[in-house]
Amino acid sequence: MSDASVPTPRPRMPLLLLRLLPIGACLLVLGCAGPRAPESAAAYGPPALTAEQSSNVAIHALGLVGTPYRYGGNTPEGGFDCSGLIGYVYRSSAGQATPRTVARMAGFGRPVPTSELRSGDLVLFGAATPSHAGIYVGAGQFVHAPSTGGEVRLDRLDGIYWSRQPMQARRL
């Protein structure tokens, strides 16, 4: 018999690895499903504004009264629409980013009963999905960018038009 007819044993290592591969994959998946580190409060929404930050928001909003309205606008130089005004004021006064659309603002922060409004709260107008928003500044008044051709202005919540609109309030 020649040595060529005797089969040479194959290394057993690849076979062993193939058998251990499913076990390793299961351990990896189980390890990823283990307990997690606690998440920060920021993961659940924006951090609450202090009373000072809320006051700064209201004062800054009042300072922008008279700025021209511009659809999609979000700077004093270019003008504001209602959500652009809110985003600009919250970002520059309190370092807080807000959603860009009024519809998304309806789920931002936490709801506040209108009887508990304080300066710096958001006021949103519209039925199921709000279509307009402003910043409450106290004494039953809010600052907003109302419409094309207009400018940022101060209005009363109990005014003829606004008192008839469905309203909700949110606090950041």
Tell me which residues are annotated as active site.
82, 132, 144
Q: Which residues have a Cβ under 8 Å from the Cβ of 149 and sit 6 or more positions away?
A: 69
**Contact call for residues 151 and 80 (beta carbons, < 8 A):** no
Concatenated DSSP letters of 43-65: GGSPPPPPHHHHHHHHHHHHHTT
Q: Is the CA virtual torsion 165, 93, 83, 98 positive or negative?
A: negative
Cβ 164 vs Cβ 152: under 8 Å? no
Look-up of token digits 């309190």: 94
The size of the chain, in residues, is 172
- Kindly state the helix (H) or strand (E) to which residue 124 belongs, with its residue range: strand 122-125
Helix or strand run (H / E) with residue 82: helix 82-94
